[in-house]
Chain A
Amino acid sequence: MKLKGSQILLKMLEEEKVDLIFGYPGGAVLDIYDQLYKSKIKHILVRHEQGAVHAADGYARATGRVGVCLVTSGPGATNTVTGIATANMDSIPIVVFTGQVPTTLIGNDAFQESDITGITRPCTKHNFLVRSVEELAATIKEAFHIARSGRPGPVLVDLPKNVMAAETEFAPADIKIRNYDVAHKPVPKKLAQVFEMLNHAKRPLLMTGGGVILGRAAGELSELARKYKIPVTGTLMGLGSFPGTDPLWLGMLGMHGTYHANMAVSHCDLLIAVGVRFDDRVTGTIETFAPNAQIVQIDIDPSSINRNVVVELPIIGETKATLKDLLQFLAEHKYIPAQEARQEWLGEIALWKEKVPLTYCQNGEIIKPQYVIETLHKVTNGDVIVTTEVGQNQMWTAQFFKFDKPNTFITSGGLGTMGYGLPAAIGVKCALPGKQVVDIAGDGSIQMNIQELATAAQYNIAVKVVLLNNGFLGMVRQWQELFYEKRYSHTDMTYAPDFVKLAEAFGVVGMRITKPGEVEEALRKAFAIDKPVLMDFRVSREECVYPMVRPGESLADMDLGTREMIN
C-alpha cells in the first residue's frame, strides 16, 4: 500500500495506541494537520508549545504511557525545549514530533528553520531527523520504544515537510528495530549480601524515589517495608510510591524534608535506596550524608550509581523485578528482623517526630498556605491527582499533602520548571477524565503558562487551580530573607492581574478566598463544579517553608524555623 509520510505517521501513532496528541499547528506540519483532520486521534490545541510538552508529560506521569505532542518547525520546536528538558530530568516517556523545513532547505537558514535535533541532543534520551519517507515508520516505532524502555525519557522526532508529503510502500508488519532493553540480570549473590546487611542492621531505612513509580514497583516496595517493619523516606519524585498515611512513612528527606526523615537518614546504619539518584537537594553536604550507613542502591541506570554518593552495594536492575527477587530471597531464607532493635529504632524516630513535627500556625484572619493544602486533602480524602508549580507551593504540597498512591503527585522535580503545573494538570485530566485534578500553584509560576486556561476552557478540561497567592516569588524571597538580609530584589509580585477576572476572561470560573473560614467551603464548591476553576487564595505573604537544610549544611543540622512556627 502506497502512503504519504503524513499518513504513515498517523498509522504508526494508531499502532502505538496513541489516543491523544497535544499540539499546535504551523507551516511545516500542515500536511500532518490535514491528516489529523480526518483522524480518530484526539488533538488538544494548546496555546503555547511549552504547554503541549508539559501536558504530554503530565499524561505520561499519570498513566505510565507515552505522552505525545506535535508542533511546527523553528519557534514551535524551540518552544518545546523547556518541556523536553523537564521530562528528561525526571525520566518521563514522551515523544515530541516537530515539523522541519524540507530536506532541500535544511542548512539554508530557511524561514522557521531550527536545528532542533542539535538543540535538544543534550536534553532528550534520543532524537531523530527523518531524512527520507522510507525510514519514517521504523523511526517512529523506535522512538516510542526508546521513550518507554529501560530508564524512560523524552524522544524527539524531526519531520521535514517534504518527507511528510512523499509517498512510499507501507507495511507495518515488516518494521524491525534494534533492541535497547536493559536486561534484568538475576543477582543472587547481591541479594545474599542485602540479606546479610539486613541481618546485621539495627537501624535500617528504605529510601524510595521516582524509579519506583516509573518502574511500577510501589507494591513491592510497600511489601518490603511493611513485612519487615522498615521505615521509609522518599525523595520528591518518590512521593506516592509508599502510602503517606502509613505509620512507617517518615515523609520526604532533604532540604525541605521532615526533621525525623533527615535524622533517620543521618542515624541509620543501613540505607536501601531504590530508584533514586541522590540529587543535591536530597543529600545536603555529600560528606555527611548517611554517615553511619552502608548504602544499597537499586537502579536501572548504571550511570546513577556512584555518581554523587559512593555506595557499598550497587544493584543494577529494574526496580520491580529486583525488589521481587529480594522479597523472595528474604522469605526463602527466613529473614526475621531483630524485634528489640527494630522497636528501639522506630521509637527513636517517633521521638524525633514528636520533637519537631511538621507544623504551621493557622490563627488570625490570614490564610496560611499549608492550611489550604491540608484542607484540600481533607475535602478530597486525598483522592485527587495533584500537580504543582515550582517553589514554595511545591514544597508545602510535598510536606502537607499525604500521597497514598503512585502517579498521583505530578511535579517538575529535577529541572524545577515554573509554569509546569497548569499544562501538566490539563494533560492528566485529559488522560483520566474521571479523576479530580488539582494544580497547586504560586502567583509567580501560574503566570508563566496561564494562557493554558484557554485550553482548559475550550475543551472544558475541569482542572482546579489552587493558587497560593502571596504576591511574592516566595521561595526566592525566602532565600533573600534568610541569606541576603531581606533585600527583596525583584521578587515582589504585587503588581499582578486580578486573577478572578482573568480566569473569567478565559472562560474559567474564578473565585477569591481571603479568610481561613472560607477555605473549606470554597474548595468544596470548586470540586462540585464540572468546569475548570481558579481559586485565588490570598495567603500570608512572608510565610517560609520549614524545616530547612541550609545550602552547604548536613541533613542533621536543620533550621527548624521556630520563630515562624509560633507567630
Chain B
Amino acid sequence: MEKKEHIISILVYNKPDVLARIAGTLGGKGYNIESLSVNTTTQYEISKIVMTSIGNQATISRIENQLQRLVDVISVEDLTNVESVHREMALVRLNLTPDKKDQIKKAVDDNQWKVIVSNDNYVILEITGDKAQLDLAMARLEPLGIADITRTGLVALELKN
C-alpha cells in the first residue's frame, strides 16, 4: 500500500492533558506525528487538533482507531479522503546585510510577500499558503539567507460538512 501524508482532524474536549494523551498514544504505539496544530473551536470546551502523519491507509486507520479509544476524543476524520483546503504559515526573518539588502527587497516585491516588521537591520515576512506554496517560498528564501524561521503545523478545513 502506498505511503503518503495524511491530514487527520481531531475534535477533543479541551482538557489540560488531552494533547499529552494524543501524543502519548501515538508515540507509545510507534506512530510519528509530522505536524501538529491545536486551538479551541467556537466552543471553548472543545478543541480541534489537526495533525499530519505519513503512512499507508492501513496504518492511518490504526491511528484513527487508537485515537477514537481516547475518552476525550470526540471525533477523528482523515481529511485526505475528503475535499478540503489546507494552509500553513511561516514567519521568516531576513537580515538586511549590505550584500543581500537589494536582492531581498526585490524578492519581497516580486513575490508579494507580506512584510510584518521592517527596519534598517532586518525584515520579518509572513508567508501563508498550502504546502506546495510554502515549499516554493522556502526555496526562494533560502538563497537570501534565512536568519530565523518559525513554521506552524498544517491547518485544514473540509469544504462542506
Contact = CB atoms under 8 A, between A and B. Distances in A.
B71 interface: yes
Given A126-B71, A180-B71, A121 B17 contact: yes
B21 interface: yes
A348 interface: no
Interface string B60-90: 0110011011111000000000000000000
B20 interface: yes
B17 A146 contact: no
Contacts of A285: none
- Interface size range on A against B: 10 to 19
Contacts of B69: 151, 301, 303
Contact of A125 (B17, B66, B71): B71
Contact of B62 (A118, A129, A178, A307): A307
Q: Give the interface size bracket for B toward A.
A: 10 to 19
Nearest to A153: B69
Contacts, number: 34
A146 B71 contact: yes
Interface in A445-468: none
A307 B66 CA distance: 10
B78 to A, nearest CB: 14
A151 B66 CA distance: 13
Contacts of A180: 71
Contact of B28 (A122, A301, A305): A122
A288 interface: no
Contacts of A117: 17
A514 interface: no
Given A122-B25, A122-B28, A303 B65 contact: yes
Interface string A165-178: 00000000000001
B68 A122 contact: no
Contacts of B71: 125-126, 146, 180
B24 A121 contact: yes
A151 B16 CA distance: 24
A121 B62 CA distance: 19
Nearest to A123: B28
Contacts of B107: none
Interface in B135-160: none
Contact of A121 (B21, B61, B65, B66): B21
B24 A302 contact: no
A302 B68 contact: yes
Of B25, B69, B72, most A-chain CB atoms within 10 Å: B69
B33 interface: no
A84 to B, nearest CB: 15
A306 B58 contact: yes
Contacts of B24: 121-122
A125 B66 CA distance: 12
Contacts of B28: 122
A313 B127 CA distance: 48
B57 to A, nearest CB: 11
Contact of B66 (A126, A129, A178, A303): A303
A340 B80 CA distance: 51
A125 B61 CA distance: 20
B65 A302 contact: yes
A126 B24 CA distance: 13
Nearest to B69: A303
Given A302-B65, A303-B66, A303-B69, A121 B58 contact: no
Given A122-B25, A180-B71, A303 B62 contact: yes
A307 B16 CA distance: 30
Nearest to B71: A126
Nearest to A155: B71
B61 A306 contact: yes
B21 A303 contact: no
B85 to A, nearest CB: 29
A143 to B, nearest CB: 10
Contacts of A307: 62, 65
Contacts of B16: 129
A429 B17 CA distance: 38
B65 A118 contact: no
A146 B13 CA distance: 15
B106 to A, nearest CB: 51
A178 B20 CA distance: 21
B37 to A, nearest CB: 22
Contacts of B13: 178
A14 B3 CA distance: 52
Interface in A284-333: 301-303, 305-307
Interface string B98-141: 00000000000000000000000000000000000000000000
A146 B21 CA distance: 16
Contacts of B61: 306
6 contacts: A118-B17, A122-B24, A302-B68, A303-B65, A305-B65, A307-B65
Given A118-B20, A122-B24, A126-B70, 11 more contacts: A118-B17, A121-B17, A125-B71, A146-B71, A151-B69, A301-B65, A303-B65, A303-B69, A306-B61, A306-B62, A307-B62
Interface of B: 13, 16-17, 20-21, 24-25, 28, 58, 61-62, 65-66, 68-72
